[in-house]
Structures are given as C-alpha cells and as structure tokens.
Structure 1
C-alpha cells in the first residue's frame, strides 16, 4: 500500500498573535534571511496577502516573490512587511561569542 501524504500549510495553524510571534521568533533564531522572509510570507498568508499589499503599497505578486524564501528581497522590503504585520526588526548581541568586527 502506498504512503498517503497530505499538503501542509503552516499558515493554517497561526490562529493567534501568540502563535504568530512564536513562529517568527523561531524562524529568525538562526538569522537566515531566507527563513525570515519565508516566515513573514507564511504570516502574511495567515493574515491575508491583500491587506498586506494595501498596507505596504507592494503588489501581491511582488510580495509573493519577496516572501517566498527563494528570492533575495531588499532589507527595506522585509522591514516594511514586518512593520505592516505589526512587528519590527530587532538586532541583539550574539551570546555565543561568535566573531565580532572591530575597528582598527
């Protein structure tokens, strides 16, 4: 008997602000820009891409491209999307003692 699989969309499980916040925190943990963009895309789909398009002034196709995780969206686009979703980007000092650029 063949294995039966089902389509899974994370957006269907983001029904509360707490779930969305935890999802975005987990996705941004490693600092990977593609993970962050994709997570913002999932949240945008959960909330409604049309509303996000209206609030950011970006077209829906441009948002889908930028938030696919496969592209290379501009930092300004990511910041604008995060703001429209009610979040802001925040930089924190690494606690793992990783490399730090210093002035010479």
Structure 2
C-alpha cells in the first residue's frame, strides 16, 4: 500500500489494518516471532484500527475486558481470541510448521 509522505505511520497502519488481507499478514508476522507480547500488540493494533468499542460490541466482550485482554500484560482466552478475530473479519487457522519429507 502506498502511503502519502505527510501521513503518520500510525494513521497509515490503522488504515491498512482495516483490510482483512493486511491484518491477517500482520498478525501472521507477529505469530512467526514466537513472542506472545508481539501477538497481543498486533491484535491490539488490528482491534484499534476497527475501533475498540465496535470490536468489543461485535465480539460480545466488555470494552474494559477487551482492553485488559489485549494489553501488554493480557492473557486472553482462546474464546476471546476467536471472538476478536471474528469481529474484525478474520479466523484462527492452523498449518503444519514444516513440510513433511
């Protein structure tokens, strides 16, 4: 995605993460880091791009609970992750780590 020179990175990131393909790639990249904090940050960025209040409403999760779950110290349940991903138009999937020989 091309970004105008005068747009801030945060604004550009929020706009790009509204696209499901971009959001999925961003979250996938965070997963590949094998760092739970990076995954939470990526999920938080995606949720913020879609509006935290709207994501909380669509996910049927309280706003405070959502903020807490996606905070740096958060520890969301798999159910919460599923609801948040679904609320932003994504889904959780699993793929083999390596190709079998």
Task: Tell me the TM-score normalized by structure 1.
Answer: 0.71
Q: For residue 15 of structure 2, what is the aligned residue in structure 1?
A: 15
Q: CA separation of 1:84/1:60 partners in 2, compared to 1, >3 Å: closer, same or farther?
A: same
Q: How does 1:1-104 map to 2 (within 5 A)?
A: 10=10, 13-16=13-16, 17=19, 18-95=21-98
Q: CA separation of 1:66/1:11 partners in 2, compared to 1, >3 Å: closer, same or farther?
A: farther
Poorly superposed stretches of 4+, deviation over 2 Å: 8-12, 18-22, 30-38
Cα-Cα RMSD: 2.4
Q: For residue 102 of structure 1, what is the aligned residue in structure 2?
A: none
Rg comparison, structure with higher value: 1
Determine if contact 1:10/1:42 at 8 Å carries over to the other structure. Answer: no
Pairwise CA distance, 1:36:
2.3
Q: CA separation of 1:37/1:11 partners in 2, compared to 1, >3 Å: closer, same or farther?
A: farther
| Structure 1 unmatched ranges of 5 or more | 1-7, 98-104
| Structure 2 unmatched ranges of 5 or more | 1-7
Give CA deviations for 1:33-76 in whole Å, capped at 9, x if unaligned. Answer: 44323211111111101111110111111001101142211111
Q: CA separation of 1:43/1:78 partners in 2, compared to 1, >3 Å: closer, same or farther?
A: same
Task: Tell me the TM-score normalized by structure 2.
Answer: 0.72
